[in-house]
């Protein structure tokens, strides 16, 4: 469904079951099917970005409104209420709560048996507002049995939910996935409609920029989002360049300069791109951005290293460099970490032990070449060469299990 407005995941939900409202939530120990309701009419959702989702979720009998004919789309949802919403949406039958237990206990037990809810999913009081990552855990397991009963981190489950199209960004920038943010009634309606669409055999639109943001938070690269490939080394990844110097590859970002809504799109806006020494249009290639940290192994004041020149990405097809806008080049003699994409124009000095220097190395690679590599090898070989010589088993190294024909030559 795309972005659905710039603030679509801020707030939470209260689930009310009121006889005065047109919606009925039908749930008993013998029948958990939701009743179909008449098309709802709420006076506070006209023009709202989630209007269609709200009406669909209410008509399905999963959410409802208030006696004053309002839906209150910005009101919050609690963890306990989300249990009921997910149970109804995924058609998991729940018994009534045992005597003396909280009202939501039946739903919690049923979802636990279905392996959609797991101990530790919610930390703390279930009457508190549910976070986006907590909702992601239940939503992705409800949508895909592959993730039930598996011990996955919260970061991975968040990524899987975004990569499946269940969640998207919270603001204009792709980086704003807001895992710790809370959820509104409007946002809950969107999750309901997306889960129902998947259950009915439909497909969801994936916010590629948000998927990259979630994948980078999970394991510091976005190769699954871009190419469906998850055979990389674990980042941060340390590489010995020579006896004096190591470089740590902290992240690998694959960016599409033609995607104006993509991850870090603002940093590539008006960047100069080259393929085979010729200026290139943004749609011709991908930018491979390697986030690096240099580390000196010896003390020698005469040695100075350009961190971004530690290695280069070997490609037998069309490739070239990237020149960012001037504002992202820093000449303040600092090699520190900075936001987004950057080039520190200083060098790493070896005047004292354990100096470190941060920088990016960029390679612009033809999309056609990437496609040919995937066709030939079944994935993208990330083939890197230490500076000094090439195509030598002492200088080359790979970040992927996939190798090209030049391996170990």
Residue 225 confidence (pLDDT) = 98
What is the pLDDT confidence band of residue 123, given thresholds at 50, 70 and 90?
Answer: confident
Cβ proximity of 183 and 132 under 8 Å: yes
| Structure confidence by residue, pLDDT tens digits, 312-360 | 999 999 999 999 999 999 999 999 999 999 999 999 999 998 899 999 9
Q: Note the Cα 289 to chain centre separation in Å.
A: 17
Alpha carbon distance, N-terminus to C-terminus of the chain: 48
Alpha carbon distance 341, 292 (integer Å): 11
What is the pLDDT confidence band of residue 216, given thresholds at 50, 70 and 90?
Answer: very high
- Within the chain, all domains assigned CATH 2.60.40 are found at 224-398
Residue 408 confidence (pLDDT) = 75
Residue 390 confidence (pLDDT) = 59
For residues 94-111, give the mean pLDDT.
96
Quick one: residue 68, left, alpha or beta (phi over 0 = left, psi -120 to 50 = alpha)? Answer: alpha
**Fold designation for 224-398:** Immunoglobulin-like (2.60.40)
Alpha carbon distance 40, 137 (integer Å): 29
> Of the ranges 34-38, 124-128, 148-152, 227-231, which is most confident?
227-231
Residue 320 confidence (pLDDT) = 96
Residue 37 confidence (pLDDT) = 54
| Structure confidence by residue, pLDDT tens digits, 20-65 | 333 333 222 233 344 455 667 899 999 999 999 999 999 999 999 9
Q: Note the Cα 383 to chain centre separation in Å.
A: 25
Whether the link from the prior residue into 236 is cis, omega within 30° of 0, is yes
Residue 389 confidence (pLDDT) = 60
Rg (the chain; Cα; Å): 25
| Residue 78, beta-bridge partner list | 129
Percent of the chain with pLDDT over 90: 85
Residue 33 confidence (pLDDT) = 42
pTM: 0.88
Phi, psi of 159 (to 5 degrees): -60, -45
What is the pLDDT confidence band of residue 85, given thresholds at 50, 70 and 90?
Answer: very high
* Mean pLDDT rounded to a whole number for the chain: 89
Read off the tokens for 271.
């960047």
Cβ proximity of 317 and 372 under 8 Å: yes
Nearest to 271 by CA among 253, 261, 256, 292: 256
Is the pLDDT at 10 greater than 90, yes or no?
Answer: no
């Amino acid at each position: 469904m795309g972005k659905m407005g710039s603030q679509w995941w801020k707030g939470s939900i209260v689930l009310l079951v009121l006889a005065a409202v047109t919606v009925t939530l039908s749930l008993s120990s013998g029948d958990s099917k939701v009743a179909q309701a008449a098309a709802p009419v709420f006076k506070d959702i006209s023009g709202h970005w989630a209007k269609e989702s709200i009406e669909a979720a209410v008509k399905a009998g999963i959410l409802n409104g208030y006696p004053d004919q309002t839906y209150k789309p910005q009101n919050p949802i609690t963890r306990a209420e989300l249990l009921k919403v997910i149970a109804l949406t995924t058609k998991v039958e729940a018994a009534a709560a045992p005597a003396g237990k909280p009202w939501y206990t039946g739903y919690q037990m049923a979802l636990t048996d279905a392996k959609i809810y797991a101990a530790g999913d919610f930390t703390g009081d279930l009457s508190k507002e549910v976070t986006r990552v907590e909702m992601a855990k239940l939503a992705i397991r409800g949508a895909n049995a592959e993730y039930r009963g598996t011990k996955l981190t919260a970061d991975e489950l968040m990524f899987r939910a975004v990569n499946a199209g269940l969640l998207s960004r919270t603001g204009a920038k792709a980086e704003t996935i807001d895992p710790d943010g809370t959820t509104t009634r409007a946002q809950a309606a969107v999750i309901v409609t997306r889960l129902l669409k998947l259950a009915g055999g439909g497909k969801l639109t994936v916010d590629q920029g948000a998927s990259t943001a979630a994948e980078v938070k999970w394991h510091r690269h976005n190769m699954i989002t871009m190419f469906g490939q998850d055979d990389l080394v674990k980042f941060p990844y340390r590489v010995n360049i020579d006896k004096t110097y190591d470089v740590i590859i902290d992240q690998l970002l694959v960016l599409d300069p033609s995607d104006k809504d993509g991850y870090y799109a603002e940093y590539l806006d008006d960047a100069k791109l080259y393929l085979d020494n010729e200026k290139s249009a943004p749609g011709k290639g991908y930018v491979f951005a390697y986030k690096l940290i240099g580390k000196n192994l010896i003390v020698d004041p005469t040695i100075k290293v350009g961190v971004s020149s530690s290695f280069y990405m070997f490609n037998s097809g069309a490739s070239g460099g990237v020149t960012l806008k001037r504002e992202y080049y820093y000449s303040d003699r600092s090699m520190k970490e900075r936001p987004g994409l950057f080039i520190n124009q200083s060098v790493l000095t070896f005047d004292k032990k354990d100096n470190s220097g941060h920088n990016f190395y960029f390679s612009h690679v033809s999309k056609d070449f990437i496609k040919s590599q995937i066709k030939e090898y079944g994935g993208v070989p990330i083939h890197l060469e230490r500076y000094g010589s090439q195509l030598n088993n002492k200088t080359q190294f790979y970040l992927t299990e996939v190798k090209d024909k030049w391996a170990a030559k």
